[in-house]
Structure 1
Amino acid sequence: MKNLRRYHNTDILFKSLTQDIKEKMDLDLNSLFYLAISGGNTAVKMFDYWINKNLIPISWERIRFFWVDERCVPPNNSESNYFQAKKHLFEPLNVPMEHIFRIKGEKNPQEEASEYGNLINNLVPHKNNKPAFNTVILGTGLDGHTASIFPNNLSLLTNNDNYAVVQHPEKPQMRISMTGTLILNADSIILPIVGKEKKDIIKRIISDDKEDLYLPGNYIYKTAKNITLYLEYI
């Protein structure tokens, strides 16, 4: 099921997204909810909405937080996705550390990708013989990348590992990213795209043009069985 939802207001977009997460959590009130989150500006805006404006009751104590991707930096580095989530979400909510499973960006990337993939295997319930998050929240860049799968690294879309190491195409920074196979095995995928600078990439992500199939965001959208795009049109 593919859903496209368009909003002219970021707060309304995040309200709708949050309501959808609550409804997914309400399907089984007695189970933990396994959520993979991303980094970037949109994620920070979403966290700030949850802390400062959200009125929808979320059972935060049931959520176990994991990461879609992480930069290979220490956890106190401002570029760390974990650092931003800690600052904007976990500390304000007083989320217990035992509910948070970060990618250790300060470790050897190859070793951590393998270890984090094994952690996911052991903790997250399986379907199709692979871990299946209840929800994966993605983001996208102006180049159409999602997670840390960039247009020059399309092999990660079909990589059978849970996580892999990738280098940013324009700088020497290394990252650890969830692969496309793990993303697509989630029960649901959420992709919020906000900001007027994203108008052109929105068109390409939902495009049927064959050239756009080489965009990771387009591939995930076209291939996913259950994905919702929350689009801000300004």
Structure 2
Amino acid sequence: MNYPFEPFTDIPTLQQTVTDSFCELVQRVVAENDVFRVSLSGGSTPRCVYEMLSQRDLPWDKIHWFWGDERNVPQDHDESNFRMVNTALLSKVPVPAENIHGVPVDVESPEQTALRYETTLREHFTGERPVWDLVLLGMGDDAHTASLFPETKALDEQQRWFVENWVPKFDAYRYTMTYPAIASGSNIWFIITGQAKQQALKQVLFGNSDPAQYPSQRIQPTRWFVDAAACEA
């Protein structure tokens, strides 16, 4: 298949390249604008990248950290994306507390949680859209990205930046950036690894347009970081 990228032969090389590319982008953007704003992804592959970033020398006081999606659990819960990033990276480097913008999860009030985070985003970004320097995204084996899952309400949202999203397959709420907020990123990177992603990736790239079933089809990444295992021969 004619993929629009050169697959990485192994995951460690992919993770190293993402880490190097992240650092290069930060240095360039901070030199130009004196600030860097990133929307983070959950998942095991990004976690290793975050761990590698903790060993780098970056202008930590210039970087603002946001989350593209979150689970409906407290921030100290094992499944929390905030906890994962904090454990892997943020707790290990001198990031000012005011630069860390985690989702303020109230498990009993998903709607209010999403509205509070939307307010945080709109106070930080004063334009019509949040202008990210980088949006990190993964893709599930059902072609979801962030917490934009197939046939869920958030797929149709055009005005809000961040919403609660009921996901029937989990019988639970997730929190997610919406398509318009993701699309405003200056750099949007897809990180996709593993054989389980083959069919989803094939549908996203080469299948008929059906974003209700394959939400990642609506993402226009500026870079792909995909390993060979995720690509069908």
Give the equivalent residue in structure 2 for 1:40: 43
Alignment pair present for 1:183 and 2:178: no
Superposition deviation, residue 105 in structure 1:
1.6
Label 1:190 to 1:113 Cα distance change in 2 as closer, same or farther (>3 A). Answer: same
Give the equivalent residue in structure 2 for 1:13: 14
Where 2:101 maps in the other structure, the secondary structure is coil
Superposition deviation, residue 43 in structure 1:
2.2
Partners of 2:178 and 2:14 lie apart in 1 by 27
Superposition deviation, residue 167 in structure 1:
1.6
Give the equivalent residue in structure 1 for 2:223: 228
One-letter code aligned to 1:100: I
Partners of 2:145 and 2:90 lie apart in 1 by 23
Superposition deviation, residue 206 in structure 1:
1.6
Give per-residue Cα distances to partners, 1:126-168, cap 9 Å, x unaligned.
Answer: 3xx2221111101111100001010112652542101111122
Of 36-45 and 204-213, deviating more is 204-213
Give the equivalent residue in structure 1 for 2:34: 31
Give the equivalent residue in structure 1 for 2:137: 138
Alignment pair present for 1:61 and 2:61: yes
One-letter code aligned to 1:22: C
Label 1:125 to 1:189 Cα distance change in 2 as closer, same or farther (>3 A). Answer: farther
Alignment of 1:178-217 (within 5 A): 178-211=177-210, 214-217=213-216
Structure 1 residue runs without a partner (length 5+): none
Where 2:89 maps in the other structure, the secondary structure is helix
Give the equivalent residue in structure 2 for 1:92: 92
Q: Which contiguous aligned blocks of 4+ residues in structure 1 show a shift greater than 4 angstroms?
A: none
State the identity %.
24
What number of residue pairs does the alignment pair up? 224
Is the 1:75–1:106 contact (alpha carbons within 8 Å) kept by the matching residues of 2? no
Alignment pair present for 1:153 and 2:152: yes
Structure 2-normalised TM-score?
0.86
Structure 1-normalised TM-score?
0.85
Is the 2:151–2:212 contact (alpha carbons within 8 Å) kept by the matching residues of 1? no
Partners of 1:5 and 1:49 lie apart in 2 by 23
Where 1:84 maps in the other structure, the secondary structure is helix
Is the 1:8–1:232 contact (alpha carbons within 8 Å) kept by the matching residues of 2? yes
One-letter code aligned to 2:39: A
Q: RMSD over aligned Cα, in angstroms?
A: 2.3
